[in-house]
Amino acid sequence: MTFQLSPEQEAIREAVHEFGMEEIRPVAKEYEADHRYPSELLSAAADLDLVAPHVPEEYGGAGMDAIATVLITEELWRADPGVGGSIAAADFGTGMLLEFGDEWMCEEWLPPITAGETPIATGISEPAHGSNVAGMDTRAEQDGDEWVLNGNKMWITNGSVADVAIIMAKTSPEKGHNGITAFLTETDVDGYDATPIRNKLGIKAQDTAEIVIDDLRVPDENVVGEVDEGFYQLMQFFSAARADVSGQATGVAQAALDEAVAYAQEREQFGQPISEFQAIEHKIAEMATNVEAARSLAYRAGAALEAGDDALATRLCSMAKLFASEMAVDVTDEALQVHGGAGYVSDHHIERFYRDARITKIYDGTSEIQKNIISEQLF
């Protein structure tokens, strides 16, 4: 086992870091203020193979491994969680298509997604059912060689900007979690109506939407994977999504740490830079140690995914997500504290990072749900 990134992975990190700090960070505040989805930057990132980088080359991707995928997400979030996160969001959904989609789905949709021409959305959560995925109310009923979908999806990333979406629906409601199916649909069709949610705490440049699904017709060939197998498909795909969130959390925490170190050296009180107070030095040391610990766990989760060890990957991806997201909320809080009053206003980036970090404890399974998953493996 090696604890070093390969020279190739280091080179990828450097390239993404450069792109992030030169192209994303300088404009991030504007996108956040306008709640504007960064389509232009999605195209620029695609030119560097940063959109869904795990997708194989034959479908327009770069065929990168799971660790490289996590570290790309990390650097994109380090640049800015709203804008960088919009780019990294293509990881969610493409994994499901690759793993379970038919060949035509991959050929038709993965090239425009990796080219940054369209985002993809994945609709699982609903107004009344978030953590309890198996409780979903959205229904799909067969009508000849089509399925008719009805229901509501809530908090869907890319829901109003994507040209294509995967929608989870109950096909055999009486069978509970054994009766859920994934459907691929274009979004510019009757029956798919998305409304952006604009009053979020953070990641404001990212698109999050509520989707009303009203007699949405999908041909039989648009079933992703097998009928009634959607819940199990999701569980498999969630491990990669959680490793990705651990990269997001590590990235925003590193960004906060960078800001805190720089500010502590600039700001003087009592005739000396505040970085010379031991209280500040120790705060920074603890923050750096926690970021590094989260990063190690995130890459180990990536390595477990890469090794194809499902049980280990499930455990490590949940542990990495839990630890990194809790850490990111704490580290951004401490970094804001280092800024004093200046951290409480939007003149510095830290106020935004503090708000952005909070989402990592909620989506792709809350911290409480991660603890349930981890403990299930221990007893």
Which of 60, 130 has the CB closer to ligand FAD? 130
Q: How far is the CB of 89 from ligand FAD (least distance, A)?
A: 8
158: CB partners within 8 A, 6+ apart: 89, 93, 119, 120, 121, 165, 206, 207, 209
Which of 46, 124 has the CB closer to ligand FAD? 124
User: Which residue, judged by CB position, is nearest to ligand FAD in the bound state?
Assistant: 130
Q: How far is the CB of 182 from ligand FAD (least distance, A)?
A: 12
Q: By the criterion CB under 6 A, which residues form the site for ligand FAD?
A: 122-125, 130-131, 155-157, 208, 359, 362-366, 368-369, 372
Which of 206, 250 has the CB closer to ligand FAD? 206
Which of 13, 200 has the CB closer to ligand FAD? 200
Q: How far is the CB of 162 from ligand FAD (least distance, A)?
A: 10
Which of 186, 258 has the CB closer to ligand FAD? 186
Distance of CA 80 to the CA centre of its chain: 13
Helix (H, G, I), strand (E, B) or coil at 36: coil
* Separation of alpha carbons 211 and 227, rounded Å: 22
217: CB partners within 8 A, 6+ apart: 143, 146, 147, 148, 149, 189, 190, 191
Q: How far is the CB of 180 from ligand FAD (least distance, A)?
A: 12
Which of 74, 364 has the CB closer to ligand FAD? 364
Phi, psi of 189 (to 5 degrees): -135, 160
3-state helix, strand, coil in the chain (%, to 5): 60, 15, 25
Q: What is the DSSP string of 57-109?
A: GGGTS----HHHHHHHHHHHHHH-TTHHHHHHTTHHHHHHHHHHS-HHHHHHH
CB count in 10 Å sphere of residue 271: 6
Which of 61, 130 has the CB closer to ligand FAD? 130
Q: How far is the CB of 123 from ligand FAD (least distance, A)?
A: 6
Q: How far is the CB of 355 from ligand FAD (least distance, A)?
A: 12
Two structure tokens written together for 62: 């770069």
Q: How far is the CB of 160 from ligand FAD (least distance, A)?
A: 12
